[in-house]
Structure 1
């Protein structure tokens, strides 16, 4: 991951094209750095072509008497003067290795990062380093991935060597924008002064408006055929660029780069205290924040990892950072950035999708209008996505909470249209919903009113409805149990089932004694509520299978299915829904977060309304979609404007969000057919080989889950899809408990606790995690490599097993 050292200033050199003079300019920078008596490292990760033409050899040749200060190196060298991906392939074929795999992006980046760390640790004095790429920004690396994406995990500050030839203005600006779209910090643009095209004049003005310094230099002399003469004229050229008096443009560039490096370090150092002065965090008790060391400073993010600044964090679990170590460290995003990440951070395809829509539309108003991103998204959600077979419309809003507000308005209006004539106005106002204890549907007032009073509600909250205490599914001591709440059992609350797959096989459990118990209990409870004159219940609102914010409660799916059957009754309505409308809040669980596109097929019933967000846009931008059946939609259709769904947001159907959502769904559909998912499914299928159909599975290994369930410190474990939840034994369990946070605090340390526990780039990583009282949960993205999941499992095991042993 990203590397940043106090004493070693690193810049990566990209070119706007091939043959723009990257090596000439970089060699001059190396020479100038050495002239100022800095230790200088030059790295050419990939070199193609004859050894005598190698860029690292050129740098060594023209260090200007400073060879003792300069170290030049190449990691991958190939004889053929071709694009690296072809040169690597041809080298393998030449050696008779016809099917030999070329180094992967992860291997390549790890090689570069390891070399940089070795250089940083070799010397403690102030030093400079230049990492020169090959060709243009989109030239392929060994795997075929373009450089701008392949190098991105390293997130090195960048210099762009512009093109001074015909067409160079365009290629330079396009290259700059390609770097910006990947988040690179572009500190400087450098190019030669071609007196005919004069590109530098235009580019200096263009980039000045964008805060980027442009420096232009005298072009090199033509290459001489005579090697000795060529050396003489080239050496003289470098002497003019790097004069002995250490003045001129190149030395100005060095000072600028040093200043940018120092400014970045200063920003990182001051960000914690500045944050504590100005930021009000969500879900954080600021009275518990002891000082700057408690602020997690995220410098960048890529894939499943944050890159965090640790120069200020000196605690029992994070030692003082040695001067030779990077002040940035990788940190696994253990909450998938609060449940939104589907494809990891800064996925280039999603970034480009956002830019595509922003460039085409910006934001456009939506009532009585349409645009292609919104239309395509609505069609795919309704016809092929979670609404397939039951939904007819999609209402697109801006986040899960508002999506649920829309759903509640839809359901309660539909109920009133059908049953409201017999209700007094006061009864209509007092209408409530039916749900489950532990529910959470968002932090807007209406969404809070659809939940029982609890830690997430506020002074204005009015709980409207009734909430059942649900039975749950968990794994304890390698056994799977359905646990009944006190109101439902008189002796032993635990019912052992054969396996996780058995617990989620709803059809086979529908005629069981437990199903009868559930049905009778729900019916009797509702009858008592009606007899007691309770408020009319206008909707059933469920978080299917897993209630996230309530404590990662894995609800027995049979209970939820029986609830739906009971409220709908035995008589289906000719106008669509029956009984009361059913809302599925799939903001958290939907779109494969727990391993399935929608929970409806597993439950064996479809909702009347469902809400989707979070994974919908891959974690890049906020967006939500509320899907509704036609019978719900028809409740709002009339000749009267006030009967319409008068709900909206300025950014309704935001084109950027819709385009990103479409791109996300395209990628997820491909992932669902890939080896990573298949391998994970096979691992869970092996646990229950007698079952040919796989109803549920997890990215977390079943062996790891069982091992966790056997620890004395652990009360229970449960997992589905990307989520694993570990409940710790605690006599004072609940949301206000700090036990899980305290026990797992060592995960914040980047100490390497077990083989393989390293992030991309080869560095030991820490784990950022969130807790819900005595429950610690961890999440992956939908494309997290299996090796990364295993590494995180190792870290969790090392910490919890250490607590047991200690």
Structure 2
């Protein structure tokens, strides 16, 4: 992951093109660094061509009078003078394994850590090969391959014909991937004079630009050439030199110093100015309790280590990898800063910015709407897609749709006051967001506020989990009161428990049906209550405590509310609209695209967000049937759905969503998912010819073992989600047990799987809890070795008294 040391100033050197002078200017920087009394580490990760012509040999040759203060290193050396991706496959490299990006990055990181172990202040330069998009050994472009290291960058501009364009393009490519570009250097060519244009161009962007005298032309005589080159470098390193190298060095030192100072100051400034959501500020009083995220990549944050900043002599990086254990509040799907998503956002921003949407269309929104309705979670039932900006507002839209449709179908006029007293049917523990309407659709609880006025009726729900190694349905006491016995509450596997269609005629289904019908019929006799919709978080109620609801219960609820005779037909009610809040579970968070196939029934309205855009940008979509749409359709404008947002169908969000769905669809055929599914199939004893069983990124053996621990009441895993409830007499959201029990996870520890974190560094785990419930979440593409490393850490924490 990222590296930052007070005593080792590191800069990575990229070139705007080949043959722009990366090695010459890096040599100048290295030589001036030694003149200033610093040790220098020069790293050329990949070297191609004859050894005597290698860049690290050039550095050794012209490092100056204190060349002994320069240590040079090349990690992967090939004889053929071609692009690295070709050199690694040439006949001369036969028998050598082509290093993966992971091996490549880990090798660099290991060398950086070795250099940082020396206590004296030093400079380090990591010189890349070719241009910014030149391929590495694996074929990945350098901008992406080096990104996990997140080293501050010096860009060597192109001083030749066409160099203005290539320099600006290279800068923007690096910028799009989040690189910190501390300086741009280029030769002072007096014919093309690119520096005259580039200096003011980048000055407006706050980027330092220096032009350096060009090196002398090569002499045919080797000795004369060497002498001329030595004189050239000597002139650049001279204190009287006016070419700017000394100034560049001072600037790079200042950038390094300012970065550390800013990171040092962020905890205090944060405590003084920011009001966090879902945080009791009375319990956060010390700077060490503020998590400063310097950058993020893949499944990891790069955290500024408050401990290391207190120890000036520490050889450890002040930036430590920390696994994003909650998938950043359930949004991450493909890892942080994925270049494909970033470029999709940039392309849409460059083409559209944001454009007015009512009675308009643009391609990203149209494509997204069509694929969500025809091939996505709306396939087979939805006909319309309504865009909003997040899950809570998407639910506000859904409630408006459902309640209006109910009023239309039941002849409740617009002026009828009963419209304002309509309620919903839901489950205790549900949560649909923090806007007022979404809160009104939930039972009062810790998330609600003074304006909240719950409107409806909420059932206690049976839950499903693995208790002491057995898949068990826990039935709440209100349901027990209507049944003499409860057969069918234990199952051989999760796949059996989630086979809803085969359970519909079971005795337990009958118990559920009688309980729901009885409750609704009692409610129909109460004059002030008019229930108008069923609102469900299918399968899992996330914010309520990762409550895995028995899917059979939710299926029976849907069946009952769609039978007017069972819901209190004496009031003349028609079937109730059904809303699925799939903001959390949608798009394979639980291993499937939508809950509809699992429950065996479709909603009238559904809401998706979070994974929809891969965690990069806010966007929500509310899908609806044609009947719901027609409830708002007339020749009167006031009958329309008068709801919207200034950024409705934001082109960037829609473009990123399309890119996300493209990538998620490919994951369905990936080895990662195939192997996980097969492991769960074998564990559950599901025949090969049977439909795919339920599966998870988490190891089924690990889930079973955790469920048997004395401190764990029950555990559960589906798709990317792992959750377990700890034994606690003070259970509920106010409990601190899970937070305390797992505190050691935040510490940086070297995993037995050395490369679980980018760069192979020790890593901590950032996690959040819901009272006595602990949960962890992967991305959809988290590698198995990373999940295994987290499982090891969780196991150790739970087994520590």
Work out whether the TM-score is over 0.5.
yes
Query: Residues 400-415 of structure 1: matches in 2 within 5 Å?
Result: 400-415=391-406
Name which of structure 1's ranges 654-663 and 746-755 shifts more when overlaid on structure 2: 746-755
* Match 2:191 to one of 178, 182, 196: 196
Q: Say which SS state the counterpart of residue 89 (structure 1) adopts.
A: coil
Q: Paired residue for 1:372?
A: 363
Using the alignment, how far apart are the partners of 2:280 and 2:94 within structure 1? 63
* Match 1:167 to one of 162, 166, 169: 162
Q: Paired residue for 1:118?
A: 114
2:426 aligned with 1:435: yes
2:642 aligned with 1:638: no
Query: Residues 548-627 of structure 1: matches in 2 within 5 Å?
Result: 548-569=542-563, 579-627=575-623
Aligned-residue offset at 1:225: 3.0
Using the alignment, how far apart are the partners of 2:476 and 2:576 within structure 1? 25
1:757–1:135: structure 2 CA closer, same or farther, 3 Å change rule?
closer
Q: Say which SS state the counterpart of residue 716 (structure 1) adopts.
A: strand
CA contact (8 A) 1:5 1:327 kept: yes
* Match 1:462 to one of 453, 456, 477: 453
Aligned-residue offset at 1:224: 2.3
* Match 1:496 to one of 481, 484, 490: 490
Q: Paired residue for 1:512?
A: 506
Q: Say which SS state the counterpart of residue 46 (structure 1) adopts.
A: strand
Using the alignment, how far apart are the partners of 2:313 and 2:708 within structure 1? 38
* Match 1:718 to one of 707, 716, 719: 716
1:755–1:591: structure 2 CA closer, same or farther, 3 Å change rule?
closer
Aligned-residue offset at 1:426: 3.1
Aligned-residue offset at 1:175: 0.1
Query: Residues 735-754 of structure 1: matches in 2 within 5 Å?
Result: 735-752=733-750, 754=752
Q: Say which SS state the counterpart of residue 262 (structure 1) adopts.
A: helix
Q: Paired residue for 1:696?
A: 694
Using the alignment, how far apart are the partners of 1:422 and 1:644 within structure 2? 15
Aligned-residue offset at 1:42: 0.3
Q: Paired residue for 1:676?
A: 672
Q: Deviations over 1:216-254 (max 9, x none)?
A: 111111222322222111101101111155775111101
Q: Paired residue for 2:58?
A: 58
Q: Deviations over 1:479-534 (max 9, x none)?
A: 11000011112588892111111110111111100000000110011011112335
1:221–1:733: structure 2 CA closer, same or farther, 3 Å change rule?
same
Using the alignment, how far apart are the partners of 2:780 and 2:753 within structure 1? 24
Q: Paired residue for 1:88?
A: 88
* Match 2:351 to one of 360, 375, 393: 360
Q: Say which SS state the counterpart of residue 300 (structure 1) adopts.
A: strand
Q: Say which SS state the counterpart of residue 421 (structure 1) adopts.
A: coil
1:609–1:695: structure 2 CA closer, same or farther, 3 Å change rule?
farther
2:176 aligned with 1:185: no
The number of residues matched between the two structures is 790
Using the alignment, how far apart are the partners of 1:167 and 1:757 within structure 2? 41
Q: Deviations over 1:625-663 (max 9, x none)?
A: 000000000000001111000000000000010000000
Aligned-residue offset at 1:696: 1.4
Query: Residues 113-152 of structure 1: matches in 2 within 5 Å?
Result: 113-121=109-117, 123-152=118-147
Aligned-residue offset at 1:48: 0.5
Q: Paired residue for 1:2?
A: 2
Using the alignment, how far apart are the partners of 1:424 and 1:57 within structure 2? 86
Using the alignment, how far apart are the partners of 1:492 and 1:581 within structure 2? 32
* Match 2:795 to one of 773, 792, 797: 797
Aligned-residue offset at 1:89: 1.0
Using the alignment, how far apart are the partners of 2:755 and 2:55 within structure 1? 35
2:71 aligned with 1:76: no
Q: Say which SS state the counterpart of residue 9 (structure 2) adopts.
A: strand
Aligned-residue offset at 1:752: 2.6
* Match 2:211 to one of 216, 233, 252: 216
1:646–1:356: structure 2 CA closer, same or farther, 3 Å change rule?
same
CA contact (8 A) 1:474 1:554 kept: yes
CA contact (8 A) 2:78 2:93 kept: no
Q: Say which SS state the counterpart of residue 683 (structure 2) adopts.
A: coil
Which TM-score applies when normalising by structure 1? 0.96
Aligned-residue offset at 1:95: 5.5
2:663 aligned with 1:667: yes
Name which of structure 1's ranges 239-248 and 406-415 shifts more when overlaid on structure 2: 239-248
Q: Deviations over 1:150-201 (max 9, x none)?
A: 0000000000000000000000000000000000000000000110000001
Using the alignment, how far apart are the partners of 1:714 and 1:757 within structure 2? 30
Query: Residues 96-115 of structure 1: matches in 2 within 5 Å?
Result: 96-97=94-95, 101-115=97-111
CA contact (8 A) 1:544 1:560 kept: yes
Give structure 2 stretches of 5+ with no counterpart: 567-572
Q: Paired residue for 1:769?
A: 767
Q: Deviations over 1:529-559 (max 9, x none)?
A: 1123351111100000000000000000000
Aligned-residue offset at 1:101: 4.5
Root mean square deviation of aligned Cα:
1.7
CA contact (8 A) 2:724 2:775 kept: yes
1:654–1:166: structure 2 CA closer, same or farther, 3 Å change rule?
same
Q: Paired residue for 1:17?
A: 17
1:522–1:571: structure 2 CA closer, same or farther, 3 Å change rule?
closer
Q: Deviations over 1:107-160 (max 9, x none)?
A: 100000000000000x21211000000000000001100000000000000000
2:537 aligned with 1:543: yes
Q: Say which SS state the counterpart of residue 686 (structure 1) adopts.
A: helix
1:244–1:648: structure 2 CA closer, same or farther, 3 Å change rule?
closer
* Match 1:281 to one of 272, 276, 279: 276
Using the alignment, how far apart are the partners of 1:661 and 1:447 within structure 2? 24
1:664–1:248: structure 2 CA closer, same or farther, 3 Å change rule?
same
CA contact (8 A) 1:427 1:535 kept: no
Using the alignment, how far apart are the partners of 1:773 and 1:421 within structure 2? 43
CA contact (8 A) 2:87 2:93 kept: no
Aligned-residue offset at 1:756: 3.8
CA contact (8 A) 1:311 1:320 kept: no
Q: Paired residue for 2:42?
A: 42
Using the alignment, how far apart are the partners of 1:761 and 1:321 within structure 2? 23
1:54–1:278: structure 2 CA closer, same or farther, 3 Å change rule?
same
Using the alignment, how far apart are the partners of 1:404 and 1:712 within structure 2? 39
Aligned-residue offset at 1:31: 0.4
Using the alignment, how far apart are the partners of 2:35 and 2:544 within structure 1? 62
Q: Say which SS state the counterpart of residue 158 (structure 2) adopts.
A: coil
CA contact (8 A) 1:756 1:791 kept: no
2:152 aligned with 1:154: no
Name which of structure 1's ranges 335-344 and 703-712 shifts more when overlaid on structure 2: 703-712
2:521 aligned with 1:527: yes
